[in-house]
Amino acid sequence: MSEGLLSVDNLSAGYGGRPVLESLSLAIPSGQRLGLIGPNGCGKSTLLRTLTAEVPESSGTILFQEEDITDLETDVIVGRGIGYLRQTHNVFSGLTVAENLEIAAEDGRQRAVRDVGAVLEAFPVLKGRDAVRAGLMSGGERQALAVAMVLMHQVSLLLLDEPLAGLSQRSAMDLLRGIDKLQREEGFAVVLVEHRLKLIFPYVDRVLVMVGGAVSEDTDDTSLLENRERLEKHFLA
Amino acid sequence: MEAYLLHLLIMIGIYSILSYSMNLVTGFGGLLIFCLAGFYGIGAYAHTLLQVGGPESQFIGELLFSAALPFPVALLGAAAAGGLAALLIGSVALRFRGDFFVFTTLGFQMIVFVVLYNWTDLGRGAFGIYGIPRPDVFGWEVRELWEYVVLVGALNALILPVLFLLYRSPFGLSLKALRENERAAESLGISAFRQHLSALVVAGACSGIAGGLFASYVTYIDPTSFGLKESIFIVSLLLLGGSGNIRGPILGVVVMILLPEALRFAGLPDSIAPNMREIIYGFTLVILMYWRPKGLAGDFALR
Amino acid sequence: MMNEPILTIENLDKRFGDVAVLRGVSASLLPGTVTAFVGPNGAGKTTLFHAITGDLVPDGGAVMLRGNPITRMAPWKIARKGLGKMFQDVRIFENLTAIENVLLALHDHPGQSAWASLAEAPFRRRLEPGLVREAKSWLEKAGVEPPYDRPAELLSFGNKKLLALARLMAGKFDLLLLDEPTAGLSPIMVNRITELIRQLTDQGITIALIEHNFSFVADVAERAYLLQEGQIHDYGPTAEVLAKEENREMLIGL
């Protein structure tokens, strides 16, 4: 079985005395595309940040490719093949597109570095924009650059924290298509946090609803994303 | 030997005024400043220029101010000058936050030094001013060392209680709140600008008095006593002793003033001792920042 | 309602770079009522609150408190006009005691000048016990768990929120903006906050809140604004706003 990619057991975490994740368990097989949804403040971002050691866990274990990564630092975890797109500060806005990609490709570790061309192929909005400063680009272009930067390395698991926030419908669709293209080629697993549920419907094979720091529903039936009655009990309770 | 101990007591007294002044701004207000020696120097020069004078006047400062005012009045003048300087630099620097604020105070410190150093007409620049009259406090002529100890002690007894009252007052509490979270404090109606500016002015005025005391004790001043190095020394007093309370600053003063003397007694030759002293200061501070960011006895760690 | 609104927001605009976060938002708050601002993530609710409290300067539009413009005023001045707020991340003074936290908000106390503090010093010994007693009574009214003389960082998250409310009560603010008062709280704590809010409005205090806990919103708020992409999408009695199918889809993110 391929369930061994990521397995989270009884994970708890929080900030400043406020518990956010409460004994959360979750397993993600290789190549799965997981949509992580839930009302504001339910702990979606905190889960991703805990997985990448940006927030310390208070208890629980995280196994990645059957190795314990619970106590590793962020850079080591990323080095093992977990790509992580944080919600903010995900590009260097004073640097150009080319410089950003170059920095993303640089790495002291022995890790397969992808060809810039292949990444740009997936995100056409970046083409011919090499010399443009990231800070001057539109939201859609900037997010595409951020995703491209994460994907400059071979990843087995891609964690995306609201990559579509603030984007117009069209740029959001473009970005999703680009990610999907690379995902199909390489088969990495994706965890996608997003609030506009209909948008991600075609791009996920499993939906996990979090409420109050715990899993409220976990289903392969992705039609949940379009079913108001079923969603209401999680979101409007 | 006795004279030497009395001298150390006088210096401890002067620096205790300086470090408790700085404590209000840094330990309570959370603002790191590198210009306290500027206020100290401005106080020393103001005090001097208000006192010196006479037929053999040689520089404009002397001519301008040759009022030959009595000691207590000159000391008040020193306080006013220090406070005014703080008001000036505060109203500029407090428009900035964080590193920019610190750099502005640093810049002010350097300007004060350069002006004192190069404006020879004002205070004879690098030559310094000598022959500063010894204090005459309402008929009490302070001449002996022990008399200076009494004078410095008396001024400590006047100034420190005022500062301590401020530490414990609603004003001091609002400074602590600002130190912790400026936006939260402002949301309760506390103006960061006003409170920080007041703290600076109080600190500037008290430092000015310390400057006047220093001038009338050594009877000779030149700009080198009031440079950046001096400001850094005062910052280190607080870093070492700790700030945000009453025991920290005085501990810093006593340790930092007695430490070099201890080194001297340890048998280091005079040619090496001063350099060793600075190395040891530096080393102590680095170790302290690492292991004990609140200082030896402080309540607050500058981040 | 015949009442004049206590706060009026007119055509507020705010951009961050190329993103328009507020686009011509107008709203008003009626005295003694609770108004909820709901909407999906990124709708601009917190930005709207920051623009009201002076923490952000809006690009266009006006904010009027009791008919007087406060649009470009410093936050501390706005606070002194009676507008209090609780931040999303609470922001109590963690290293000060619970009592000191409340003392800071007491009337005439916040931002007392150095000179006033010195002038008052001779009487401090007489004044202080009274002030401390008053602070304690506010802490008790808010239901903060004692002891009150330890650093506030030792309080639980729920108690920190109650402390923030105690501070606002002590400060006699008559208009409160609460950014997610129930986020991260247990149901028991949510009930306590609900009770407190009821008490406050009974005293004529006006409250605006941002909230994602809709049963809480339905419980406490008379009226609700629904924000979507920086615009007011709907406004009305809370039950009506929350009942509309279109609004429910929007809140879920469909």
- The pLDDT of residue B59 is 57
The arithmetic mean of pLDDT across residues B44-53, rounded, is: 85
Name the minimum distance, in Å, from the CA of C145 to any CA of chain B: 22
- Only one residue has tokens 């407090």, namely B94
Find, in chain B, the residue whose alpha carbon is nearest to that of C89: B184
Q: Give the tens place of pLDDT for each residue, C217-239.
A: 999 999 999 999 899 999 999 99
Q: Give the tens place of pLDDT for each residue, B213-231.
A: 999 999 889 998 898 989 9
CB pairs under 8 A between B and C: 107
- With beta carbons under 8 A apart, name residues in chain B contacting C93: 176-177, 180-181, 184-185
pLDDT confidence band for C48 (50 / 70 / 90) = very high
- The pLDDT of residue A2 is 46
CA distance B134 to B121: 23
CA distance A12 to A25: 9
**Out of C55, C84, C112, closest to residue B183 by CB:** C55
Q: Which residues of chain A have pLDDT under 50?
A: 1-2
pLDDT confidence band for B151 (50 / 70 / 90) = very high
Q: Per-domain residue ranges for chain B?
A: 2-291
The secondary structure of residue A133, as a DSSP letter, is: B
pLDDT confidence band for C152 (50 / 70 / 90) = very high
Report residue C168 as tokens: 């606002």
C254 at interface of A, judged by CB pairs closer than 8 A: yes
CB count, 10 Å around CB of B97?
A: 12
Question: Would you say C131 and C103 are in contact if contact means Cβ atoms under 8 Å apart?
Answer: yes
Find, in chain C, the residue whose alpha carbon is nearest to that of B202: C114
- The pLDDT of residue B62 is 56
- The pLDDT of residue A111 is 57
Q: Which among B72, B106, B52, B76 is positioned nearest to B227, based on CA atoms?
A: B106
- Only one residue has tokens 């603010």, namely C173
CA distance B196 to B204: 12
List C residues 80-119 in contact with B (Cβ-Cβ < 8 A): 80, 84-85, 87, 91-96, 100, 103-105, 109-118
CA distance A151 to B19: 55
C157 at interface of A, judged by CB pairs closer than 8 A: yes
Provide residues of B within 8 Å CB-CB of chain C. Answer: 162, 165-166, 168-174, 176-177, 180-181, 183-192, 194-195, 198-199, 201-202
Report residue B192 as tokens: 């960061």
A197 at interface of C, judged by CB pairs closer than 8 A: yes
- Percent of chain B exceeding pLDDT 90 equals 51
Residue B280 clears pLDDT 70, i.e. is over it: yes
Contact A138 C89 (CB under 8 A): no
B2-291 topology per CATH:
ABC transporter involved in vitamin B12 uptake, BtuC (1.10.3470)
Find, in chain B, the residue whose alpha carbon is nearest to that of C176: B187
Residue C1 clears pLDDT 50, i.e. is over it: no
Q: Give the tens place of pLDDT for each residue, C4-14.
A: 899 999 999 99
Report residue A15 as tokens: 């900030």
Question: What residues are paired with A96 via a beta bridge?
Answer: A133
Q: Taking the C-alpha atoms of B73, B79, B80 and B81 in order, what is their torsion angle to the nearest 10 degrees?
A: 110
C239 at interface of A, judged by CB pairs closer than 8 A: no
Suggest the residue from A198, A229, A236 to mutate for an interface test with chain C (most C CBs closer than 10 A): A236
Suggest the residue from A12, A15, A18, A136 to mutate for an interface test with chain C (most C CBs closer than 10 A): A18
Residue B56 clears pLDDT 70, i.e. is over it: no
Q: Give the tens place of pLDDT for each residue, B164-184.
A: 999 999 999 999 999 999 999
Contact C171 B172 (CB under 8 A): no
Report residue A173 as tokens: 């669709």
Contact C253 A196 (CB under 8 A): yes
List A residues 80-139 in contact with C (Cβ-Cβ < 8 A): 138-139
Q: Is the peptide bond before C147 cis (omega within 30 degrees of 0)?
A: yes
**Out of B166, B176, B189, closest to residue C111 by CB:** B189
pLDDT confidence band for B67 (50 / 70 / 90) = low
| Global ipTM | 0.90
- With beta carbons under 8 A apart, name residues in chain C contacting B206: none
- The pLDDT of residue A41 is 81
- Starting at the edge strand found earlier in the chain, the sheet holding C60-65 runs C19-29, C7-16, C60-65, C68-69
Q: Give the tens place of pLDDT for each residue, C52-70.
A: 999 999 999 999 999 999 9
Name the minimum distance, in Å, from the CA of C248 to any CA of chain A: 8
Q: Which among B150, B149, B160 is positioned nearest to B249, based on CA atoms?
A: B160
- With beta carbons under 8 A apart, name residues in chain A contacting C152: none
Residue B61 clears pLDDT 90, i.e. is over it: no
**Out of A39, A198, A232, closest to residue C212 by CB:** A39
Contact B183 C91 (CB under 8 A): yes
CB pairs under 8 A between A and C: 62
CA distance B123 to B117: 8
Mean pLDDT for chain C overall: 91
Suggest the residue from A12, A22, A40, A93 to mutate for an interface test with chain C (most C CBs closer than 10 A): A40
CA distance C83 to A49: 35
Name the minimum distance, in Å, from the CA of C187 to any CA of chain A: 11
Residue B269 clears pLDDT 90, i.e. is over it: no
Contact C113 B194 (CB under 8 A): yes
Chains that touch C (3 or more CB pairs under 8 A): A, B
Residue C83 clears pLDDT 90, i.e. is over it: yes
- The pLDDT of residue A108 is 56
Residue C108 clears pLDDT 80, i.e. is over it: no
Q: Name the helix (H) or strand (E) containing A22.
A: strand A18-28
The arithmetic mean of pLDDT across residues C25-48, rounded, is: 93
- Count Cα neighbours of C190 within 13 Å in the Cβ-side half-sphere: 17
The arithmetic mean of pLDDT across residues C98-119, rounded, is: 85
Residue C153 clears pLDDT 60, i.e. is over it: yes
Contact A236 C160 (CB under 8 A): no
Suggest the residue from B180, B187, B294 to mutate for an interface test with chain C (most C CBs closer than 10 A): B187
CA distance B216 to B148: 10
pLDDT confidence band for C76 (50 / 70 / 90) = very high
Residue B137 clears pLDDT 90, i.e. is over it: no
